[in-house]
Amino acid sequence: MRVLTEEPLLRYNTLALQGRARAFLQVRAAAELERALAWARRQQLPVIPLGEGSNVVLAGDIEALVLRMAITGIELLEEDDKQASLRVAAGEVWHPLVEWTLRRGYYGLENLALIPGTVGAAPVQNIGAYGVELASFVRAVHCVDIASGREHTLAGAACEFGYRDSIFKRSLRDQVIITAVDLQLQRKPALQVNYPALAAALAQQPAAAITPQAVFDAVVGIRRSKLPDPARIPNAGSFFKNPVVAAALAAELAARFPGLPQYPQADGQVKLAAAWLIEYCGWKGRCRGGFGVHPEHALVLVNRGGSSGADLLALAAEVAASVCDNFGIALEIEPRVYGA
Ligand code: FAD
Ligand code: NAP
């Protein structure tokens, strides 16, 4: 086990922010994870798991042992003519997993194509896109408790999945390392193609041509046309969550701001499009101190040659203050901020 000290994290986060980890280890096996957690306990260092760093903001140096989760492997647990269950190790990269499942004829993940990141991070955020959420496929999440090193398993129903939310962002925040995720996929396609952008992309195709592969291709096409590739323009995807507000406030806003998109939720609340609020405030395409609001997508903050997470957070605070002034809504940052 080779723990690195004062390791620069620039290449381990998709916003390309500077920041060092007091201690850093790539974890490639379960036994290595066990030793690393014991080492951190002896050093009295907190532990932070990291995948591809596509949903984090480094606001400074991290006084912790950062564990880059790189344990790989896909195991077929069960398969019949209706369903297939897989155990996928935390360090597998999400998009190649989606491709692999499609090749094997295991369906369901096609709308979640091209989401950056690792399998281990996917339940944390309950990744979602184009009308589908990971939660629908999670049978169990396997974890190791950071404080004790003990292994335990949560059933999908115990993960308290919500909109871009889970128990791993709440009561289990900073408590566990996810080592593997069990997914249950379908052998017969059950396509979800109602999401407007996806429906529009598939509108010209005859019904028989709308296969899981066609949905995957359409999602990849839409995402490539709209979202900046972090390898070229560093970013962390949506920087703010879409706010979910009470129906009465939504109705009041609808009267004041015709055109404000509103999406009623099952619980009676209403989701608003944060990108629309930000664009209304005139931020789309604007830059500040090396960072900017992407000109094609107002929800994505991009690195235009900056390096300091504090500068990025200053821009984010200005954007959020404008939205609050105009709409009375407090935007919440989606990525996890470290080193602040
Ligand atoms: P990291 O950024 O490394 O970590 C994120 C959080 O999870 C951190 O708090 C970290 O400590 C924790 N974590 C990581 N691994 C583990 C583990 N093994 N055990 C416990 N905790 C862990 N998200 C969506 O939901 N939908 C999208 O459509 C989407 N599109 C995106 C597009 C772009 C261009 C980008 C850059 C991001 C996008 N995201 C999207 C956000 C991001 O891809 C997801 O949140 C992804 O799951 C993060 O994976 P990661 O491995 O990079 O996690
Ligand atoms: P979009 O299609 O431009 O729509 C804008 C927003 O409106 C989305 O955030 C979406 O909410 C919401 N929306 C649109 N149609 C909806 C409907 N019929 N029902 C409910 N909500 C609806 O979105 P986009 O920004 O290009 O993103 C496309 C998809 O990829 C979205 O699902 C988005 O969440 C996901 N994505 C996520 C990230 C991230 O980092 N989290 C980054 C890029 C893309 P939802 O977000 O709830 O879907």
Domain of 240, CATH number, reads 3.90.78.10
Is 238 considered catalytic here?
yes
The fraction of the chain above a pLDDT of 70, given in percent, is: 100
Q: Please say if the pLDDT value at position 269 is more than 90.
A: yes
Q: What is the model's pLDDT at position 1?
A: 85
Q: Is residue 251 part of a domain?
A: yes
Q: Is residue 285 part of a domain?
A: yes
Q: What is the pLDDT of residue 158?
A: 98
Please report the pLDDT score of residue 340 as a whole number.
Answer: 87
Same domain (yes/no): 97, 153: yes
Residue pair 114/220 in contact (Cβ under 8 Å)? The answer is yes
Is residue 160 included in any domain, yes or no?
Answer: yes
In this prediction the pTM is 0.97
Q: Note whether residue 322 is domain-resident.
A: yes
Residue 146, pLDDT score: 98
Q: What is the dihedral angle through the alpha carbons of 127, 299, 243, 138, rounded to the nearest 10 degrees?
A: 0
Domain shared by 79 and 130, yes or no: yes
Question: For residue 34, is pLDDT > 90?
Answer: yes
Mark whether 250 and 332 lie in a shared domain: yes
CA angle 251, 256, 262 (to 5 degrees): 45
Known catalytic residue at 334: yes
Which residue among 19, 38, 69 closes a domain?
A: 69
Task: Calculate mean pLDDT across residues 198-217.
Answer: 96
Q: Sorting pLDDT into bands at 50, 70 and 90, what band is 144? A: very high
**Predicted local confidence at residue 289, as pLDDT:** 87
Which pLDDT value is given to residue 216?
98
pLDDT at 264 over 90: yes
pLDDT of residue 332: 96
Cβ atoms < 10 Å from Cβ of 73: 11
pLDDT of residue 77: 98
Residue 126 corresponds to which amino acid?
N
* Residue ranges making up the domain that contains 63: 4-69
Residue 209 lies in a domain: no
| Mean per-residue pLDDT of the chain | 97
CATH number of the CATH domain containing 96: 3.30.465.10
From 92, 164, 166, 288, active-site residue: 164
Q: Which residues line ligand 1 (CB under 6 A)?
A: 14, 48-56, 69, 90, 115-118, 120-122, 124-125, 127-129, 164, 177-178, 227, 230, 235-237, 336
- Reply yes or no on whether 164 is catalytic: yes
Instruction: Assess whether pLDDT exceeds 90 at residue 85.
Output: yes
